Chains A and B, each alone.
Chain A
Amino acid sequence: MTNASVLEKPTATAGAAIDCNIDKIYYGKFLAVRDSNIAIEKGKITGFIGPSGCGKSTVLRSLNRMNDLIKGFKLEGNVHFHGQEIYDKGVDPVVVRRHIGMVFQQPNPFSMSIFDNVAFGLKLNRFKGDVEERVQHALTRAALWDEVKDKLKASGLSLSGGQQQRLCIARAVATQPSVLLMDEPCSALDPIATRRVEELMLELKNDYTIALVTHNMQQARRVADITAFFSVDISQGGRTGHLVEVGPTDQIFDAPQEKLTKQYIGGEFS
């Protein structure tokens, strides 16, 4: 199958915060993802869509080396962050993760106070400035400040699911990483909370670069500037995911180039 690389090559060099050229990702002997080249552009939201198990999370997690923790994980190819290869020998994955933050599918606040949750990353980075101001700023950006300003000492776990997710977003933006990876951040949220998080993403993209995995095509359509469609082929016996097509969101939804994309967008996917 011809890859969509022809399409995205011109943009890849322009304002890419992360330039990811994955040849193969293995979990042990299992080939999970092949041939996926995407540029995550600065100041934009890049949406990853595709059927379950096609490797969206795998690709996303390899952008900040979260997959290093998984036994048997092996990546062939390279991932450039501002021109530096993050899988180089001399690169410290811990430092990579401080620049490329992550919001997980399930809200996962620490069992400490709301304030400490947000201040966690600041302490970690030995932030010298005004911690309280930063925490308030982060909570405000995450559209949570008004709800929690009177109970910053309460446990982060005492919040509702949607509030917890916004707390996790506040925690991630407090340290001002240059890229935010979000893996289905709204899957545990109700429509209203989902909308708030989406508004938040749109607001954040002025300062951050965002890569967003979503199962919700409407969501991709609403917030993503660029959409990457992944699929999985089961023909060769295995279940290997790969990038089918990437391009401006309108084009992917209204005028997809690939037949697979057309089928998926049209809801004909098996």
Chain B
Amino acid sequence: MAFEASPATPAMAIPSGSDGKPPSLGYNSFEPRALWNLILTLGLWAVAALGATPLLSVLYMLIVKGGARLNGELFTELPPAGFEMGGGIGNAIQGTLVTVAIASLISIPIALFAAIYLAELRPLSRISSVARFLAKVLTGFPSILAGVFVYAAVVLLMGSYSALAGGVALAVLMLPTITLTAEGAMHMVPQRMKDAAIGMGCTNTQVVWSVTLPTALPSIVTGIILAVARVAGESAPLLFTALFSNYWLRNITEPTASLSILIYNFSSMPFDNQIELAWAASLVLVMIVLGFNILSRFIGRPQV
């Protein structure tokens, strides 16, 4: 079929090729379109650099000020008293890991069951829409209020501050995030995969356990890790619950130190040694959070 060239109109920006010459397909960098592209690309890089500046400068500061104390002692020693030299933040690292672990143990199962209910069992029921709404509200819940709530609910009841109470407070913060991301992840599992499972003769429970959950697992794990990374740096909810301690944690019913509270305490002390330790603790905390984030990127990769 012959290609009918339309009569060339002089106003046309694109050379039509109707004058006998083949149309030019080369890149013309002075075309308005190309110029805009260049300007916007440069603008985007500038904004990205601007956005990364605070993060990079904080990291730089932490490495410069805290890096000097990054040695074995930091991880194995207890914090020093007043005028003492040396010492470490071992018990704070231990405390942070333990409270976060307790929080995970409490929140992950509850959140997963809630997510299964929301995504699979009764997605359209009234209780689900109310729960979903509350979870969304809770994700923006001021973290200090979680501390106050757990102070009233656990600390007063048990009669003392404890790592357990700290864990519960962090769990309150993790619960809605994990629930919502897990629900979203299960929602993303294509209906046809679930249909296939039902067609094979799966009960509802088997569909959830052997198809929906495994398929959604990478995204769910990503959500969990990000939630963990978020609460690992929280200090407000721990103020009223885990408090602080200068000793190793032996029992989860005792108060415990944590990195965030240690930073808060030591940074306001008049001793250089403690201030240096606060910097080192900040560096460790940032590295933990960063590590979790990087981990989540690896796990969250689509696995096809």
Contact = CB atoms under 8 A, between A and B. Distances in A.
Interface stretch (B105-113, B187-195, B254-262): B187-195
Interface in B250-277: none
B197 interface: yes
Given A66-B195, A157-B304, 18 more contacts: A64-B199, A66-B198, A69-B198, A94-B203, A96-B201, A97-B201, A104-B196, A108-B192, A108-B196, A110-B211, A110-B215, A111-B193, A111-B215, A111-B303, A120-B197, A121-B201, A125-B201, A172-B200
Q: Which bracket fits the contact residues of A?
A: 20 to 34
Interface in B171-201: 190, 192-193, 195-201
B175 to A, nearest CB: 27
B203 A101 contact: no
Contact of B214 (A104, A112, A171, A175): A112
A108 B200 CA distance: 12
A1 interface: no
A6 interface: no
B199 A101 contact: yes
Contacts, number: 65
A97 B197 CA distance: 10
Which of B195, B200, B304 has the largest count of A CB atoms less than 10 A from its CB? B200
Given A104-B195, A155-B303, A97 B190 contact: no
Contacts of A124: 200-202, 206, 210
B191 to A, nearest CB: 9
A98 B198 CA distance: 9
B199 A97 contact: yes
A contact patch SS: helix
B196 to A, nearest CB: 4
Contacts of A109: 193, 196
Interface in A82-108: 94-98, 101-102, 104, 106, 108
Contacts of A98: 200-201
A97 B304 contact: no
A124 B198 CA distance: 11
Instruction: Give the interface size class of chain B.
Output: 10 to 19
Nearest to A66: B199
B199 A104 contact: yes
Contacts of B214: 111-112
B215 A102 contact: no
Interface in A156-183: 157-158, 168, 171-172, 175
Contacts of A110: 193, 196-197, 211, 215
A112 B192 CA distance: 15
The residue in A102, A104, A108, A158 that gathers the most chain B C-beta atoms within 10 A of its C-beta is A108
A66 B192 CA distance: 12
A155 B197 CA distance: 17
A64 B203 CA distance: 14
Contacts of A97: 198-201
21 contacts: A66-B195, A66-B198, A69-B198, A97-B198, A97-B200, A98-B201, A101-B199, A101-B200, A106-B192, A108-B190, A108-B193, A108-B196, A109-B193, A109-B196, A110-B211, A111-B193, A111-B214, A111-B215, A120-B200, A124-B202, A158-B304
- The 7 closest A-B CB pairs, nearest first, are A98-B201, A102-B199, A108-B192, A97-B201, A108-B196, A111-B215, A121-B200
Contacts of B304: 111, 155, 157-158
Contacts of A108: 190, 192-193, 195-196
A157 B193 CA distance: 11
Contacts of A101: 199-200
Contacts of A171: 196, 200
Nearest to B218: A111
B223 to A, nearest CB: 18
A254 B210 CA distance: 48
Nearest to A121: B200
Contacts of B195: 66, 69, 104, 108
A94 B210 contact: no
Contacts of B206: 124
A94 B206 CA distance: 11
A111 B206 CA distance: 15
A96 B198 CA distance: 11
B122 to A, nearest CB: 13
Interface string A48-90: 0000000000000000101001000000000000000000000
Contacts of B197: 110, 120
A64 B198 CA distance: 10
Contacts of B202: 94, 124
Nearest to A120: B200
Given A110-B211, A110-B215, A157-B304, A94 B196 contact: no
Interface string A110-133: 111000000011011100000000
Nearest to B214: A112
Contacts of B215: 110-111
B152 to A, nearest CB: 43
